Amino acid sequence: MTVATARRPWARAALWLLLLGPLFFLSYGYANSVASARADVPSIVFGWEHAIPFWAWTIVPYWSIDLFYGISLFVCRDKRELDTQAFRLLTAQAIAVGCFLLFPLHFTFTRPDTGGVFGWLFDVLLGFDKPFNQAPSLHIVLLIVLWARFAQHLSGAWRWLLHGWFALIGVSVLTTYQHHFIDIPTGVLAGWLCVWLWPERVAAPWREATLARDPQRWKMAAIYLAGAALCAWGAIDLGGWALWLLWPAASLLLVAANYAVFGANGFQKRDDGRLSRAARWLYAPYLLGAWANSRWWTRRAPQPVWVIDELWLGRVPARGQRDGYARVVDVSAELPLRPWREGDVVRPMLDLIAPTPQQLRQIAADIESARGRGEVLVCCALGYSRSAAAVAAWLLRSGRAATVDEAIAILRRARPEIVLRERHRRALGLMLREASPSPAALGEQTA
């Protein structure tokens, strides 16, 4: 037994399993019984679903998720990882059962008679399952949570085997006649929400949640909330394939929550410039729109511009556009820095929101620290506002500009399109009025 294995929290994992196992069956059974007592449980079925075949043998991968459920607690290498996994599973149960109670749906297909071992597995399943716990499919929610855990521990052929088997589990919810199609995408969404709520390489969004005090953040939250409501209305009113609008509705709702409560941390952009996998799934419709918006507004001036010394200002570079810059200082929260390299600095800030004086001091120190090794690119989604404010802060803190107006004038000579409004000027002015260190000491102020 290796040292790493000896330190695994086996006893704690067993205790979590003793808690989660009974809770699963009790809460799941309760939701089923409540729905079965109602006479008006609807169903959402697409016409093409009638062509889905019934494959009795897929009850084997369908049942196998229970085995993966239990093992997932014991593969965790330490207490922190174990508790994260347990809370993800607990959250999955709470979200799914809550939806089952609030919006029950009914499965409408008749399952063919099945004999043999497969028939026995179906009989055991039907002993506690009824055709009501549908959207989101708890099977799919758990599949996402479990896949995220096992994929972290496997590589090579074993990882590909995991992908294949879990894909088969996903298909089995349809071919065992347990779920309609609507249950799958809603399950995927709920599954990634569980992972997003309990991340591992970034801070959990709710840990530093606080109501925004900046009126501009509430204005942006209202705009995105209206967009989410419009998408949700379209999905419900039009039905059918328009139900896919629920994905951008959920995405915009989370963006609104970031502006109102979570801040830039809600996008879960890591120090390596990438968004967490859960964030990439949950925000995908918004991220696509943000990327397209970035490319549209900068289409006539896509290349960074030189500002002063070795400092450049521009949009987040795409693959192949990184060459020529020794360091990148990225202040975009929503777009990934794909060509990230060792030494780059990632300080996520919300779009269209003026940075705080504290953020400006920090980013000015980051820029100074990045200098001296070659050309430095300071970037955000467009290179017009957040990154411009960051460079203005550095100009002031380094003594290259004596006033806010002078700093902005230097920037406008390089890029006339910059957008620094009165709220940016106030933040820069507040930063400037604080005690300013010498340029030599500036590089030491890294957090």
Show the tokens assigned to 50: 């009638």
Show the tokens assigned to 336: 């990934």
324, with CB counted inside 10 A (0-12, 13-18, 19+), is exposed
Q: 332: helix, coil or strand? A: strand
Show the tokens assigned to 175: 């071919």
Q: 362: helix, coil or strand? A: helix
Query: Which residues, in sequence order, are bridge partners of residue 153?
Result: none
Q: What is the CA radius of gyration of the chain?
A: 26
Rounded CA-CA distance 174/172 in Å is 5
Rounded CA-CA distance 133/98 in Å is 10
Query: Which residues, in sequence order, are bridge partners of residue 315?
Result: 380
Rounded CA-CA distance 253/221 in Å is 9
Whether 194 is catalytic: no
Buried b vs exposed e over 285-322: b needs ≥16 C-beta within 10 Å?
A: bbbebbbeebeeebeebeebbebbebbbbbbbbeeebb
CA distances 247 to 42, 45, 105, 244, 357, Å, are 21, 18, 19, 6, 36
Please check whether residue 137 is in contact with residue 190, taking contact to mean a CB–CB distance below 8 angstroms. no
Q: 85-89: list long-range contacts, CB under 8 Å, 24+ apart.
A: 85/145, 85/149, 86/16, 86/20, 87/197, 87/198, 88/145, 88/148, 88/149, 88/194, 88/195, 88/197, 88/198, 89/20, 89/142, 89/145, 89/194
* Residues 6 or more apart whose Cβ sits within 8 Å of residue 320: 339
Q: Name the catalytic one among 76, 99, 194, 380.
A: 380
Buried b vs exposed e over 7-38: b needs ≥16 C-beta within 10 Å?
A: ebbeebbeebbeebeeebeebbeebbeebeee
Instruction: Kindly list the catalytic residues.
Output: 380
